[in-house]
Amino acid sequence: MSQQPATAHVPERLPLDEHAAASVLAYAAEQRAKVDVLASVLEDIAARGYPAPETGVLWETARDAHLARLVDEQPRVA
């Protein structure tokens, strides 16, 4: 993903207040971090191949751990 903002001409926009702009930037940073993790995994697979099935985690175990993390998170509005 590019670190550069879009440069194409955009019709008039309504500005965000400081708090809203900060929230959007924080969300963008979180999403960028998630994509960076995915890209790292894909690069590792490309360089070294697939991991052995014996070293992996069952999908049920991964799902349950993820659901437990979601329960612990603070609710937030998108």
pLDDT, tens digit, 9 for 90 and up, residues 16-71: 999 999 999 999 999 999 999 999 999 999 999 988 888 888 889 999 999 999 88
- Global pTM? 0.50
pLDDT of residue 51: 84
Q: 46 burial class (0-12, 13-18, 19+ CB within 10 angstroms)?
A: exposed
Contact 8, 39 (CB under 8 A): no
Contact 32, 2 (CB under 8 A): no
